[in-house]
Amino acid sequence: MKITSPDGSDFSFLESLDVYISTEGLDEIKMASKEVIDANAGSTLDIDVLDIDLKEYIKKTNST
């Protein structure tokens, strides 16, 4: 992830991060996370993407 605005911003305000996906008719699932974010985090953050199948979420989103 990268913060592009405002200039000079960084991820130091976060302690951890969870990214979820949801769509109508399907359960919300976690798709990425970062358990520990350093207080000196810069404007770019590498997150851990989980090994999950998003096919049904993508198909559902494209069909509406």
How confident is the model over 9-41, as pLDDT tens digits?
999 999 999 999 998 889 999 999 999 999 999
51: which residues sit within 8 A by CB, 6+ positions away? Answer: none
- pTM comes to 0.76
Number of Cβ atoms within 10 Å of the Cβ of 32: 15
Structure tokens at 59: 């198909």
User: Cα dihedral sign for 44, 38, 20, 55?
Assistant: positive
pLDDT of residue 59: 83
